[in-house]
């Protein structure tokens, strides 16, 4: 499996997907595990009569906030300051990491306990802090598993979804000293609880991501099921929270709407176990919030791409995606996989292949709790790649030809009739090579009697 | 230019056109609050004690103390065998914490708890018991967020059941890093 996320080798989506698909049983298992989440999500959504109304509200309140972001960010900062929270601004990942390091260095922090934050993954913060001698302990169970295994996350909500319990059992046996051959999830979870409790009690600082930042309160909201964010943020005297500029919402009413859809859409739960509101440091403590841009304002300059900033990171689009479920989280050449990963990561993708890791079926857009038009954004990325002359492999060569070909009735009709004839008279083995990548997992079609135009003229045009 | 100013000035080049804040006006489905809350709490793996009130809770606490368990109560009228320690870390061996729930949400079983001193208390205890006034129940989150208040320096948290995870092969395990069980006494 290391082949999937190692730095060497081709990072083109179809190549990585090929590697993932070698083990057919595992692919089926992976796909089913994710589909189970989609089914739970459907049941949770159906239990709320006003579900569609909530999606519409979620979409509009995020759009409203994004279109008034300057005001809301400044209001949020002012309210934070009034609550005794230190606010930092970072243009990019590098500046974010440096700010974090400076805060930690001032407090001589040796051990940092961290709960899930896709932003810190995006900024590659852990390796940076480790280089500076700080022990970073990921405390979400899934994240701890992949940290011990030295892997990146393969899903934004369930980061170790690609691992089987036997693999986790073996990993814990080697790293945490659990019994050999033991793979019971309850036993392994309890072992991780004991292991991480010791880390929480001896940490010098804690860091969390932010699900929502409430502008008029100067408070951040952190949602977890495990309680790891709260065990961290409330034990050591120093708490840090990193957030993208897109995490701001105007007020508690807005947070109320998103708290109704977030967990339901992620895992089918009515709400996460803990939705914690932090409005200032604990007695004698310090609280820092780092507001990060890292490409988001750039995205906002494009009307279509800007809508991807409505995302609340529930992971619903990953669970429903037919491509993600069968190609895995490591095939996207970006920290965030799946449809939302393409939407926010395609610009960074040096292989220029991930906008094509999509069938444009639109299922992601249909399940999104804030109505991010993911399929439209992905199609737009294809256009941008073409406009920037960065179409992948053959596409820049043959797509213009296909376009010209399909625009001409004569060329289209002549060659299609030739193809129908060939399908009827020539052996499949001779024709198959011409179908290219399309034919890799498909059989050639049976040739129809006539073209659609001929059929229509005969049967319907009278 | 400071990073703050450069971010704010980059925002002025946004391609989005101003969108108004939507009116959040969701009809409340009329449902019996206690029954709906009970069903939701069961869904999130919490246990409800609907009858008996604080007297039943004290009886439970007495039973726990008789087993030599460490019980800390911050609920008026209910007494445990531990006092609030000087540091939060000393709470690590608390078996049961008894805290006040301020508001319960019927649609999802979440209970609002706020904590100023030793904010880790609802999480670090092995088991959590919340005393919740029946009259504090509301139908949904829209009503809930309007009624809770966030004090400066306090932690306010909606607690929905005991801590849990499904990170290993999607198998639900109750008891991750926070409390391993949640019992709610209505009064």
- pLDDT tens digit sequence for A100-158: 999 999 999 999 999 989 999 999 999 999 999 999 999 999 999 999 999 999 999 99
Q: Which of A89, A139, A186 is the closest to B7 by Cβ? A: A89
Closest residue in B to A34 (Cα–Cα):
B170
Across the range B16-40, mean pLDDT stands at: 94
Nearest to A335 by CA among A141, A147, A120: A120
Tell me: pLDDT of A397 over 80.
Answer: no
Closest residue in B to A298 (Cα–Cα):
B10
Residue A462 confidence (pLDDT): 67
3-class DSSP state of A197? helix
User: pLDDT digit string (tens) for A281-322?
Assistant: 999 999 999 999 999 999 999 999 999 999 999 999 999 999
Tell me: pLDDT of A1 over 70.
Answer: no
Tell me: pLDDT of A186 over 80.
Answer: yes
Nearest to B117 by CA among B79, B90, B138, B146: B90
Closest residue in A to B1 (Cα–Cα):
A91
d(CA B80, CA B129): 12
Pick left, alpha or beta for residue B86 (phi over 0 → left; psi -120 to 50 → alpha; otherwise beta).
alpha
At residue A393 the predicted structure's pLDDT band, cuts being 50, 70 and 90, is low
Residue A432 confidence (pLDDT): 83
Across the range A8-32, mean pLDDT stands at: 92
Across the range A354-362, mean pLDDT stands at: 96
Pick the CATH number of B30-186 from 3.40.50.10420, 3.30.300.30, 1.10.390.10, 3.40.50.150: 3.40.50.10420
Angle, helix A141-148 to helix A165-176, in steps of 10 degrees: 70
* A205 interface with B at CB cutoff 8 Å: no
Across the range A421-435, mean pLDDT stands at: 84
Q: Do B3 and A90 touch (CB under 8 A)?
A: yes
- CATH homologous superfamily for A2-11+52-297? NagB/RpiA/CoA transferase-like (3.40.50.10420)
d(CA A334, CA A344): 9
* A198 interface with B at CB cutoff 8 Å: no
Q: Which of B14, B164, B173 is the closest to A273 by Cβ? A: B164
At residue A187 the predicted structure's pLDDT band, cuts being 50, 70 and 90, is very high
Across the range B106-111, mean pLDDT stands at: 98
- With a threshold of 0.90, does the pTM exceed it? yes
Residue A283 confidence (pLDDT): 92
Closest residue in A to B87 (Cα–Cα):
A235
Tokens of A305: 């791409």
Count CA within 13 A, CB hemisphere, residue A358. 30
* A300 interface with B at CB cutoff 8 Å: yes
Domain residue ranges in chain A? 2-11+52-297, 12-47+315-407, 411-457
Tokens of B18: 């101003």
Which residues from B are below 8 Å from A200, CB to CB? 177
Q: Please provide the DSSP assignment of A270-288 as one string.
A: SS-SEEEEE-SPPTT-EEE
d(CA B138, CA B33): 7
At residue A434 the predicted structure's pLDDT band, cuts being 50, 70 and 90, is confident
* A148 interface with B at CB cutoff 8 Å: no
d(CA A196, CA A191): 9
Q: Do A270 and B156 touch (CB under 8 A)?
A: no
Tell me: pLDDT of B24 over 70.
Answer: yes
Q: Do B170 and A158 touch (CB under 8 A)?
A: yes
Distance from CA of B65 to the nearest CA of A (A): 24
Across the range A24-29, mean pLDDT stands at: 94
Residue ranges in A321-373 assigned as alpha helix (H): 322-327, 338-345, 363-367
At residue A392 the predicted structure's pLDDT band, cuts being 50, 70 and 90, is confident
Closest residue in B to A217 (Cα–Cα):
B150
For residue A274, the cross-strand partners are A224, B159
**Exposed / middle / buried, residue A442 (Cβ in 10 Å: 0-12, 13-18, 19+):** exposed
Query: What mean pLDDT is reported for chain A?
Result: 94
For residue B182, the cross-strand partners are B128
Count CA within 13 A, CB hemisphere, residue A4. 21
Residue A441 confidence (pLDDT): 78
3-class DSSP state of A205? strand
Tokens of A201: 């009690």
% of chain B beyond a pLDDT of 70: 100
């Amino acid at each position: 499996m290391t082949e999937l996320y190692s730095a060497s080798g081709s990072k083109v989506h179809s190549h990585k997907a090929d590697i993932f698909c070698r083990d057919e049983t595992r692919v089926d298992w992976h796909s089913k595990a994710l589909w189970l989440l989609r089914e739970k999500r459907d049941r949770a959504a159906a239990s709320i009569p006003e579900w569609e109304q909530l999606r519409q509200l979620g979409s509009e309140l995020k759009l409203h906030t994004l279109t008034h972001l300057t005001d809301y960010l400044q209001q949020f900062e002012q309210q934070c300051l009034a609550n005794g929270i230190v606010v930092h601004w970072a243009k990019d990942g590098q500046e974010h990491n440096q700010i974090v390091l400076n805060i930690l260095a001032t407090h001589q922090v040796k051990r940092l306990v961290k709960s899930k934050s896709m932003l810190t993954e995006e900024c590659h913060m852990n390796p940076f802090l480790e280089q500076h001698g700080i022990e970073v302990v990921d405390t979400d169970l899934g994240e701890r598993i992949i940290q011990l295994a030295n892997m990146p996350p393969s899903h934004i909500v369930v980061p170790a979804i690609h691992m089987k319990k036997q693999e986790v059992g073996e990993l814990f046996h080697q790293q945490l000293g659990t019994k050999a051959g033991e793979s019971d999830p309850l036993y392994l979870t309890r072992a991780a609880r004991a292991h991480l409790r010791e880390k929480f009690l001896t940490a010098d600082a804690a860091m969390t991501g932010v699900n929502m930042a409430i502008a008029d309160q100067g408070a951040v909201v952190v949602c977890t099921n495990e309680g790891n964010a709260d065990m961290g943020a409330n034990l050591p005297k120093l708490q840090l929270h990193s957030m993208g500029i897109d995490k701001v919402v105007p007020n508690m009413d807005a947070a109320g709407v998103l708290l109704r859809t977030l967990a339901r859409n992620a895992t089918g739960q009515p709400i996460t176990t803990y939705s914690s509101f932090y409005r200032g440091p604990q007695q004698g403590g310090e609280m820092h919030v780092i507001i990060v841009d890292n490409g988001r304002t750039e995205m906002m300059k494009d009307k279509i791409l800007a809508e991807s900033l409505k995302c609340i990171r529930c992971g619903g689009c990953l669970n429903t995606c037919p491509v993600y479920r069968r190609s895995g989280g490591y095939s996207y050449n970006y920290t965030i996989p799946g449809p939302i990963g393409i939407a926010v990561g395609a610009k960074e993708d040096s292989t220029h292949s991930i906008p094509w890791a999509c069938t444009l079926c639109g299922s992601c857009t249909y399940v999104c709790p804030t109505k991010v038009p993911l399929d439209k954004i992905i199609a737009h990325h294809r256009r941008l790649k073409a406009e920037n002359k960065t179409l992948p492999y053959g596409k820049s060569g043959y797509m213009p030809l296909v376009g010209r070909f399909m625009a001409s009735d004569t060329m289209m009709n002549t060659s299609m009739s030739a193809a129908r004839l060939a399908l009827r008279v020539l052996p499949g083995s001779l024709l198959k090579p011409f179908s290219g990548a399309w034919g890799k997992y498909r059989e050639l079609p049976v040739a129809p009697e006539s073209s659609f135009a001929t059929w229509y003229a005969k049967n319907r045009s009278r | 230019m400071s990073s703050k100013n450069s971010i704010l000035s980059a925002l002025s080049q946004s391609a989005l056109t101003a969108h108004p804040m939507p009116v959040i006006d969701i009809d409340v489905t009329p449902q019996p609050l206690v029954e709906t809350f009970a069903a939701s709490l069961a869904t999130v793996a919490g246990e409800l004690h609907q009858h008996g009130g604080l007297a039943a809770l004290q009886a439970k606490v007495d039973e726990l103390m008789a087993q030599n368990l460490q019980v800390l109560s911050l609920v008026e009228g209910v007494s445990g065998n531990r006092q609030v320690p000087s540091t939060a870390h000393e709470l690590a061996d608390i078996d049961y914490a008894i805290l006040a729930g301020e508001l319960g949400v019927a649609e999802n079983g979440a209970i609002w708890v706020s904590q100023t001193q030793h904010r880790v208390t609802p999480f670090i205890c092995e088991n959590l018991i919340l005393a919740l006034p029946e009259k504090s129940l509301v139908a949904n989150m829209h009503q809930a967020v309007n009624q809770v208040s966030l004090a400066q320096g306090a932690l306010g948290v909606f607690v929905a059941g005991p801590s849990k995870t499904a990170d290993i092969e999607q198998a639900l395990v109750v008891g991750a890093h926070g409390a391993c069980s949640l019992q709610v006494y209505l009064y």
